[in-house]
A = this chain, B = another copy of it.
Amino acid sequence: MDNKKFEKISRALSDASRITILQEIRKKQGCLYCAEITDMLDLTQPSVSHHLKQLVDADLLIPEKEGRNIKYLLNQEVLADYIACLNFLRG
């Protein structure tokens, strides 16, 4: 993972709403629907859509279309790579 990618992931993780989204997905064994995420956040639907886009653009979430709905899955691999970079910083 290069620095640009590391920076992008860090930025995606630097917002309270997005942290909540990831934590809730974790609680649900790594998968949540868009509508569920919108319900649990105190934001309008377009704002939630924006935050989800940040997480998807950073590859932290993988979107899966199911008809009109979208299911978001946690990207374990990218998260593991990010953690590996942080561990490297520890020397």
Copies in the complex: 2
CB contacts under 8 Å to B, within A50-91, are: 74, 76, 79-80, 82-83, 86-91
Q: Are A14 and B7 in contact (CB under 8 A)?
A: yes
CA distance A88 to B90 in the complex (A): 19
Q: Are B86 and A74 in contact (CB under 8 A)?
A: no
On whether A16 and B3 interact (CB within 8 A), knowing A10-B10, A83-B87, A89-B74, the answer reads yes
CA distance A7 to B10 in the complex (A): 9
Report A88 CB to chain B, min CB distance, Å. Answer: 7
A44 at the binding interface (Cβ < 8 Å): no
Q: Are B86 and A90 in contact (CB under 8 A)?
A: no
Measured between beta carbons, the chain B residues less than 8 angstroms from A29 are: 91
CA distance A19 to B26 in the complex (A): 27
A32 at the binding interface (Cβ < 8 Å): no
